[in-house]
């Protein structure tokens, strides 16, 4: 079987080699400059630093799509990857008890100067490429066939990012009405047949096929004709036809595979980070709020006979049921079998129960759920098993919320979608969170929840009216 290889740039290979060798070279120069005797331990430190730096760069995708990245974005990634490298080296030195073997002054200067040199190197490369492209050197003339969503995307990308080194030679489409029209300032100069003729005449270096997935006959016809030319042909699949979720691509023995629906939790590293975050944050919060929880438990007991906790079956990660914990806000037996979604405010509650429900204090025991492992601090709010089947039929993509653990708070909640609010809108926000998950996004949501995510809207309005 013919293999489709992943694109690999020689220029990126050179960047990797520079990144892996620069920490050792800079460390050697600084030791020489400040008169510190060179030893094998410095060589080992420089080599480990280089390997870690490249590894973190690889993890942060520094070497991917680097031309289309902004200068600020590139600098940010350099700081993050080198910062992670330095922290790892400090931890290793502490564990191995070897930090005293190195000159702290030289290591300090090395830690600060190396990212500055890497940033300078990146800026010089960008400036050289920009100058070369302005002079017309190494510029590639490209033709775009198909001016749908994918075509529009490429036109905007090539026009707005000169550092890519692409000049649009012409646009082509099979819609005769578009010929002569201008798309983003670039004219449509012919149909698919004309695109093949111009390519055979050498009017472009590369041709991008951006036809929709249903246009197989047109694509095969063009590929047959373009086989008689020397133009580089690139096919861009119309992924805009799908409503993607955390999409990414991989290569399995040379076969390119695109994940249309995926989740960050499919990565072991991401799952470990998420779990570590949950354990640390939940433990800290429980140590702070346990006196409040004791007071609430006493309040529940004094105002209504029955257990302190209310237990309910919810559906979580991978559609698995779990028991969610809450402080009981209703009298025992208040919920009958005729349970309806969207009637939370109509449920009978004790006077104390109304208060803890309005302030979300009844949710505090869910930090115990987090420590147990069946919930996360941040994630889509779990729903009752009684409603899942009905909701999933009525709300598109609802079940994709269960690709991650349910959370105490989430992106939807801090944007005002709490309680009996629009389900479709909540799903939209939940899927955005799943697709864009990072630890930093989790921390942002947690901080925003502290300030505006806990009070129910009705409670907030009543409080405001009392002030007025």
Cα-based distances in Å from 327 to 203, 355, 402: 72, 11, 24
Q: How many domains does the chain have?
A: 3
CB atoms within 10 A of CB 393: 9
Based on the domain organization, do 332 and 384 belong to the same domain?
yes
3 in a structural domain: no
At a CB cut-off of 8 Å and minimum separation 6, what does 164 contact? 67, 68, 157, 158
pLDDT value at 236 more than 70: yes
Q: Is the dihedral of CA 425, 430, 431, 435 positive or negative?
A: positive
Based on the domain organization, do 431 and 291 belong to the same domain?
yes
261 in a structural domain: no
144 phi, psi to nearest 5 deg: -120, 120
* Range with the poorest average pLDDT among 55-59, 280-284, 404-408, 455-459: 455-459
Based on the domain organization, do 272 and 413 belong to the same domain?
yes
Cα distance between residue 419 and residue 221, in whole Å: 55
pLDDT of residue 136: 62
For residues 352-379, average pLDDT: 91
106 in a structural domain: yes
At a CB cut-off of 8 Å and minimum separation 6, what does 388 contact? 315, 319
pLDDT of residue 467: 38
**Total length of the chain:** 468
pLDDT value at 183 more than 80: yes
The single-letter DSSP state of residue 100 is G
Which string of DSSP letters, residue by residue, matches 11-41?
A: HHHHHHHHHHHHHHHHHHHHHHHTTPPP-HH
Based on the domain organization, do 299 and 432 belong to the same domain?
yes
* Each residue's pLDDT tens digit, 187-232: 899 999 999 999 988 888 889 998 887 788 888 899 888 888 888 8
State the angle between helix axes of 192-200 and 216-226 in degrees (0 to 180), rounded to the nearest 10.
20
Vertex 351, ends 339 and 415: CA angle to 5°?
A: 65
Q: How confident is the model at residue 252 (pLDDT cuts 50, 70, 90)?
A: low
At a CB cut-off of 8 Å and minimum separation 6, what does 387 contact? 341
Based on the domain organization, do 208 and 321 belong to the same domain?
no
Under 8 Å between Cβ of 139 and 158? no
* Each residue's pLDDT tens digit, 422-442: 788 898 999 899 888 888 899
Cα distance between residue 162 and residue 242, in whole Å: 29
CA 36 vs. chain centroid, Å, equals 44
pLDDT of residue 71: 76
Is the model more confident about 10 or about 271? 271
At a CB cut-off of 8 Å and minimum separation 6, what does 296 contact? 327, 356, 361, 362, 364
pLDDT of residue 66: 62
At a CB cut-off of 8 Å and minimum separation 6, what does 220 contact? none
* Each residue's pLDDT tens digit, 16-33: 888 899 999 999 999 999
Tokens of 235: 């096919």
Based on the domain organization, do 129 and 145 belong to the same domain?
no
Q: How confident is the model at residue 251 (pLDDT cuts 50, 70, 90)?
A: low
For residues 2-12, average pLDDT: 55
Q: For residue 47, give its domain range.
A: 10-134
Out of 90, 108, 134, pick the residue that ends a domain. 134
Cα distance between residue 416 and residue 334, in whole Å: 28
Based on the domain organization, do 91 and 220 belong to the same domain?
no
248 in a structural domain: no
Based on the domain organization, do 202 and 279 belong to the same domain?
no
pLDDT value at 465 more than 50: no
308 in a structural domain: yes
365 in a structural domain: yes
For the chain, give the mean pLDDT.
82
Out of 79, 114, 134, pick the residue that ends a domain. 134
Based on the domain organization, do 359 and 431 belong to the same domain?
yes
* Each residue's pLDDT tens digit, 107-119: 999 999 999 998 8
Based on the domain organization, do 103 and 174 belong to the same domain?
no
Q: Which CATH number characterizes residue 194's domain?
A: 3.40.50.720
Tokens of 344: 């939370």
287 in a structural domain: yes
Q: How confident is the model at residue 460 (pLDDT cuts 50, 70, 90)?
A: very low
Based on the domain organization, do 420 and 356 belong to the same domain?
yes
Cα distance between residue 407 and residue 166, in whole Å: 45
Out of 112, 134, 156, pick the residue that ends a domain. 134
pLDDT value at 418 more than 80: no
301 in a structural domain: yes
The partner residues of 407 in beta bridges, in order of sequence, read 376
Based on the domain organization, do 426 and 340 belong to the same domain?
yes
* Each residue's pLDDT tens digit, 120-145: 888 888 777 777 766 666 678 899 99
Count CA within 13 A, CB hemisphere, residue 414: 20
């Amino acid at each position: 079987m013919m293999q489709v290889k992943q694109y690999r740039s020689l220029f990126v290979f050179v960047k990797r080699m520079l990144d892996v060798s620069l920490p050792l070279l800079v460390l050697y120069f600084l030791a020489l400059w400040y008169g510190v005797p060179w030893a094998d331990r410095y060589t080992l430190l420089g080599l480990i630093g280089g390997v870690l730096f490249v590894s973190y760069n690889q993890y942060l995708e520094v070497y991917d799509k680097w031309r289309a990245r902004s200068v600020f974005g590139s600098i940010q990634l350099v700081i993050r990857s080198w910062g992670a490298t330095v922290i790892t080296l400090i931890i290793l030195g502490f564990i191995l008890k070897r930090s005293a073997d190195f000159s702290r002054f030289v290591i300090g200067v090395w830690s600060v100067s190396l990212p500055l040199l890497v940033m300078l190197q990146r800026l010089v490369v960008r400036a050289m490429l920009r100058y070369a492209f302005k002079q017309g050197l190494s510029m590639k003339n490209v033709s775009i066939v198909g001016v749908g969503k994918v075509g529009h995307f490429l036109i905007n990308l090539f026009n707005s990012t000169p550092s890519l080194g692409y000049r649009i030679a012409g646009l082509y489409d099979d819609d005769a009405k578009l010929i002569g029209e201008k798309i983003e300032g670039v004219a449509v100069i012919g149909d698919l047949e004309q695109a093949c003729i111009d390519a055979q005449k050498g009017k472009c270096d590369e041709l991008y096929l951006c036809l929709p997935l249903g246009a197989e006959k047109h694509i095969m016809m063009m590929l047959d004709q373009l086989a008689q030319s020397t133009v580089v042909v690139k096919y861009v699949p119309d992924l805009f036809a799908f409503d993607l979720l955390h999409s990414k691509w991989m290569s399995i023995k040379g076969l390119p595979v695109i994940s249309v629906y995926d989740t960050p939790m499919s990565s072991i590293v991401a799952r470990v980070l998420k779990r570590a975050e949950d354990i640390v944050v939940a433990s800290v919060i429980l140590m702070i709020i346990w006196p409040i929880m004791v007071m609430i438990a006493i309040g529940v007991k004094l105002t209504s006979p029955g257990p302190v906790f209310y237990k309910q079956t919810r559906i979580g990660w991978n559609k698995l049921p779990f028991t969610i914990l809450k402080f009981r806000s209703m009298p025992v037996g208040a919920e009958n079998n005729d349970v309806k979604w969207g009637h939370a405010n109509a449920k009978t509650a004790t006077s104390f129960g109304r208060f803890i429900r309005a302030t979300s204090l009844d949710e505090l025991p869910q930090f115990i759920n987090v420590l147990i492992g069946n919930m996360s601090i941040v994630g889509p709010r779990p729903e009752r098993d009684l409603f899942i089947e009905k909701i999933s039929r009525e709300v598109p993509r609802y079940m994709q919320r269960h690709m991650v653990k349910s959370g105490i708070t989430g992106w939807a909640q801090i944007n005002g979608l709490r309680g009996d609010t629009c389900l479709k809108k909540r799903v939209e926000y939940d899927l955005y969170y799943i697709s864009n998950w990072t630890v930093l996004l989790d921390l942002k949501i947690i901080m925003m929840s502290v300030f505006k995510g806990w009070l129910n809207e009705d409670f907030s309005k009543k409080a405001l009216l009392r002030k007025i």
